[in-house]
Structure 1
Amino acid sequence: MNIQFFKTAQSSKPLVWKIRFGLFLFLPLVLLAFTTKIAASSEVSVVKRDGKIGKYLAGRHAQSIDDSNSAINYFEDLLSSKNNNLGIQDTLFYLLVKSGKTQKASPLAHKIAKTDSKSAPLAKLFVSLVYIKEGKYQEALDTIKKIENSGINYFSRTIIISWLHTANINFKTGIALLKKEMKNPAYVAIFAPHAALISEYAGKPELSRKYFDDALLQYRQVGANLTRLIGEFYERNDEQSKALNIYRNFNKLSENETLFRYALERIQQNKPEIIKLSVNRGVAEGLYHLSSSIRRQNQYQSILLSRLAIFMYPEFSFAKLRLADQLTEENLLDEALAIYKKLSQEKVYAWLARLRVARIYDYQNKLDEAEKILLAMAKERPKELDPLINLGNMYRGRDKHRQAARYFEKAKTRIRNWMPMHWRLLYSSGASLERLKRWPAAEKDFLKALELKPDQPSVLNYLGYSWIEQGKHLLKSKAMIEKAAKQRPRSGHIIDSLGWVQYRLGDYDQAVKNLERAVLISPADPTINEHLGDVYWKVGRKLEAGYQWERALSLEPEKNQMKSIKKKIKTGL
């Protein structure tokens, strides 16, 4: 049984992968090297005739179900009697870092860093971070240079070494390292923001502006992290109008008014971000940037880097927020909830964290607790939409559309000036109203959503499919769904709608192709399987039609749909 930290590179050919917050920008990387596989054979020596097998297996089981706290307890107990077992040390060290228990991880890191263990690169990185926090920059430099310069180490080493040279009053050497790497255009997005931060730390803000501009040129849409870095830079350097613009541009393009709410408020109140850069914070920014860059490729490896970033800079609220989001995605809800609750007591992301706390309660089937939080927030800020929209969506997700529609309606009454971002509210509201068979009101919401966001694929699909089911506007529906399908060619529901409108228009050959494609994309959807059965029947493939209907029936469709499918199985169309 293997545990992966960061994979050791097996090939000299770089992989090209997408930077988390940039669209269509690819960065060649060898898949992650500073943490690695721990072979089961290195731990199997624990399982001897010494009465420890139960704890070992219990620890492994706890680890397999992501119960890190229990796993840590079991492996700590094992290590107390097997002090020199490197495999147990490796496993425990990994779990401690992943869980954010860095104080306990530190002694193990110093031990493992002196070995040839496969997790030694991570341990050496950790030890170098400890030295940086202690102000022992030369010791940190000596340690980090011992890490193999490949994979993710290539990037982390470069950023951290640049900071260490700058900390040792050798800015020219530090910035030269980054400039050398930025000769490769693919690396500009990674290194330019850190060249900007290092330049600012060295008292060269004009150079910082240049490097931030270089970074911005790499993106079609600026992500949250780069927005934050540049916005805070402008705030620190008394350029509040520029900071305001970059935060507002992010809100407009991302349709998200919540993330930088506090940043906008503090600028408008003339209380800008004034926390100066430090070496610790700069290194933390580098680690977090790498974490966000690999988030889609490997959540667990990204979590480790985020934990190390927070270790370096414990006040790193943005990294904590994103870490909790990652933990939520990995279904580590209790860990995420603990972080959100702490953030809800801080100024910067308090509002967003409270929304996230309610979301976690929703995931944990504690709707009453979630509703209590969201109603209190809605009362606290009578102009805010998010608490009511989130509450409506929680009820919609439970098919309680009457309650959902009520909250969506309350949210709509708070809007004075409709903007493109409001399409989401209208879409959710329309969906619930449609399920309540209040079609005129639902249609009104969908049409209003398309006025605000004319090419929005989800709205185009929902409205178009609804019209198809009602047997009206078939040609218009077809054009709308084709537009949606061009934007979302991998959406099973949209491709199903395309095949279904072709079926209703009598274009059975094209309908077969698209409905077969839709089933391949979403094989567990009963409606798509039923539709494919219908079109098979129309083209004379009656045996296959029966099979698709039987399959649709096995996928637990809704009661009304179940009755219809059973009739088709019995008598056909």
Structure 2
Amino acid sequence: MMRRTGAVSAFLLSLSCAACASYPGFGAYGFSVDSAHAPPADAAALGDFLVARYAAMTNDPREAARRYAASIDTAPESTGIAERAVYSALVSGDYPQAVQLANKAHGVGNFGTLVRLTLGIEAMSEGKDAESAAYLAEDGFGPFNRTVARGVSAWRMLDADGPEAAETYLRDTLTGDPRLDSATLYMMGLIQLSAHSDADALDTFETLWNSGARLAVGLDAHARLLAANGDRARALTLLNTFREEVGENSALESLRKDIQAGREIQVTRLSSRQGAALAVYVPAAALITRTDDDVASVYFVLALALDPDLHEARSLWAQSLEKAGREIEAIAVLAQIPETSPYYSPARGQIAWALLGLGREDEAVQVARQALAQAPDRGLRVQLAEIYRAQAQYREANRLLTGIIEDDALKGREDWRLLFSRGATRHALDDWDGAEADLKRALQLQPHSPLVLNYLGYAYVDQGIHLEEGLNLIRTALTYDPDSGFITDSLGWAYYRLGRYELAIYFLEKAVELEPADATLNDHLGDAYWRSGRKLEAKFQWERSLKLEPAEKERARIEVKLLKGPDEPAVVKAESEQPLPNRP
């Protein structure tokens, strides 16, 4: 997004200076301080606040933090401004500034939850136990920040009061539902390990695993403990299950190889600062899966302030930045992961994806290829194949994916994700027989995947084959992911292709409600309106789609529809060649 905070600042400043020049005998705003028309005393703060708000909305958190900081000086009673200032500093990645602003806010009487959390973490990192305990007291925190503060407090207690006090403190906060207590239980297990209470730690980790909780850093400690105690088979079972259910994790893959090779495995025993960093990281790792912005980056910055070597936090921090369209900053964060880290290779792949998001396609491929040449890592091969797919270089993607799948087969492994990717790739290459075989096998391996169900179902409907089965597959996908605008669009578009326009409109309207900013979904709804005789509404949707910046080919097709309608031969041909709408 364009950053125009400088222009707004100059405009506000010019108004202020013009007023001073016109009324030299008056105050800064051209009024006597005794005038009935004088602005309120906090007008200066309001100007900074408005510029800060604009900076925040235009994705410029550094400027926002600077302007909010000025507002703290002129409107010290506003806790909300202090919170925004600290938040903006953290979301921009400037932890020292966040601490400075939090101290300033606290010094003038502001004591918001993010202010307290930042000061509590800073006090702990400096070994100031009493100050940290006061800042992290749970009263006044919302549920999420309370979880973070509770975990950090437990690790602070480990040093100050001993492991029994820390464990008792955590145990008193449990609800009895491991799914709700997972973050707290992970902290408890890691604290038990640090205190050499290995049997208790193993019980805690087993409870978490059996509840369905899957967290890489928790499983790393769990599997190491099992392997160190001689139960390598169980450790490998858990690691393989994680890989199949969640996906590859570089640190866990490295541990799995060490266990298979019979190497000695060391149990992880964290320092209080390392543990406190994980207490911030674990809830943030869950948060990033539920948000489409960069709010989770606040907590990754706090985690790294406690443990700069927590490189998995850098990886997820970059992911959070990419969600907010801050690819350049994401690349800078990933560049800090050293070659010695197991997260180095995946970071190179992430850098390639960030470059792709910036439209620097040649650089993206070059970075991925260079990383692969340095380390023939399976994950990097997958990343490069997906980059080729994103660039519509389907033959290269198919070659790479086939090589990985064949190598996996030699090791007795089948990955449904790769089969799905190759199936979609082969579909794009007009190899439907090969695509269908891959997609059906992926569905056998992962029968509840909405991604595979949706793709295969729509592919059937799109080709006019297995129509009832196709619709049932899409409907099933929607039951697993009912809030997906793209799957809802698939169902609506399937009904459209079948000529059932009223049903199509019902689902396509719902899809646009779920994903209002997607150009393709708005375009589809316009088509359905047109076929139902609602031509004015159709044109409105197509015009809206154009405002949402579709790809150039899509833009040209929609512009023709606006002029001549969707029955124009060029439009009919283009629409018959459209990719599936579920974003494979």
Same fold (TM over 0.5): yes
Aligned residue in 2 for 1:408: 398
Residue identity matched to 1:355: G
Aligned residue in 1 for 2:510: 520
Match of 2:271 among 269, 278, 281: 278
Aligned residue in 2 for 1:317: 311
Match of 1:249 among 241, 244, 250: 241
TM-superposition CA deviations, 1:378-421 (whole Å, max 9, x none): 44555x554454344434434xx3x2232322330343245886
2:165 is paired with a residue whose SS is helix
TM-superposition CA deviations, 1:87-140 (whole Å, max 9, x none): 787655443333343334444434433442143x43343333333223333443
Shift of 1:308: 1.5
Q: Distance in 2 between matches of 1:559 and 1:434?
A: 24
1:44 to 1:512, Cα distance in 2 relative to 1, 3 A? same
Match of 1:199 among 182, 188, 192: 192
Match of 1:123 among 97, 106, 115: 115
Match of 1:160 among 132, 152, 156: 152
Q: Select between 497-506 and 126-135 the one with higher mean Cα deviation.
A: 497-506
Shift of 1:300: 5.1
Shift of 1:349: 0.7
Aligned residue in 2 for 1:477: 470
Aligned residue in 2 for 1:331: 325
1:415 is paired with a residue whose SS is helix
Q: Distance in 2 between matches of 1:473 and 1:276?
A: 56
Residue identity matched to 1:462: Y
Q: Distance in 1 between matches of 2:304 and 2:45?
A: 33
Q: Select between 123-132 and 334-343 the one with higher mean Cα deviation.
A: 123-132
Residue identity matched to 2:477: A
Whether the 8 Å CA contact 1:137–1:167 is kept in 2: the answer is no
Report whether the alignment pairs 1:208 with 2:208.
no
Whether the 8 Å CA contact 2:138–2:146 is kept in 1: the answer is no
1:549 to 1:436, Cα distance in 2 relative to 1, 3 A? farther
Aligned residue in 2 for 1:141: 133
Q: Distance in 1 between matches of 2:488 and 2:295?
A: 34
1:559 to 1:258, Cα distance in 2 relative to 1, 3 A? farther
After superposition, residues 87-102 of structure 1 pair within 5 angstroms as 92-102=85-95
Aligned residue in 1 for 2:367: 373
Whether the 8 Å CA contact 1:420–1:452 is kept in 2: the answer is no
Residue identity matched to 1:410: L
1:113 is paired with a residue whose SS is helix
1:324 is paired with a residue whose SS is helix
Aligned residue in 1 for 2:356: 362
Aligned residue in 2 for 1:342: 336
Residue identity matched to 2:345: W
Q: Distance in 1 between matches of 2:457 and 2:83?
A: 55
| Structure 2 unaligned spans of 5+ | 1-39, 547-553, 573-584
Q: Distance in 2 between matches of 1:429 and 1:562?
A: 33
Residue identity matched to 1:353: A
Aligned residue in 1 for 2:528: 532
What is the total number of aligned residue pairs between the two structures? 508
Q: Distance in 2 between matches of 1:314 and 1:42?
A: 43
Whether the 8 Å CA contact 1:199–1:208 is kept in 2: the answer is yes
Report whether the alignment pairs 1:180 with 2:179.
no
Whether the 8 Å CA contact 1:147–1:153 is kept in 2: the answer is no
1:385 to 1:176, Cα distance in 2 relative to 1, 3 A? closer
Aligned residue in 2 for 1:45: 44
Q: Distance in 1 between matches of 2:321 and 2:467?
A: 44
Residue identity matched to 2:183: I
Whether the 8 Å CA contact 1:389–1:407 is kept in 2: the answer is no
Residue identity matched to 2:198: P
1:380 to 1:204, Cα distance in 2 relative to 1, 3 A? same
TM-superposition CA deviations, 1:486-510 (whole Å, max 9, x none): 434444554455456566767x4xx
1:505 to 1:420, Cα distance in 2 relative to 1, 3 A? farther
Residue identity matched to 1:218: S
| Structure 1 unaligned spans of 5+ | 1-40, 48-52, 537-542
Shift of 1:323: 1.7
Q: Distance in 1 between matches of 2:495 and 2:54?
A: 51
1:65 to 1:251, Cα distance in 2 relative to 1, 3 A? same
Q: Distance in 2 between matches of 1:494 and 1:131?
A: 48
2:336 is paired with a residue whose SS is helix
1:570 to 1:443, Cα distance in 2 relative to 1, 3 A? closer
Residue identity matched to 2:341: K
Q: Select between 434-443 and 167-176 the one with higher mean Cα deviation.
A: 434-443
1:343 is paired with a residue whose SS is coil
Q: Select between 327-336 and 449-458 the one with higher mean Cα deviation.
A: 449-458
Shift of 1:305: 2.4
Shift of 1:306: 2.2
1:261 to 1:373, Cα distance in 2 relative to 1, 3 A? farther
Aligned residue in 2 for 1:6: none
Q: Distance in 2 between matches of 1:491 and 1:79?
A: 40
1:263 to 1:512, Cα distance in 2 relative to 1, 3 A? same
Match of 1:287 among 280, 287, 295: 280
Shift of 1:155: 3.0
Normalization by structure 2: what TM-score? 0.73
Whether the 8 Å CA contact 1:324–1:340 is kept in 2: the answer is yes
Q: Distance in 1 between matches of 2:41 and 2:165?
A: 41
Shift of 1:61: 4.4
Shift of 1:298: 8.5
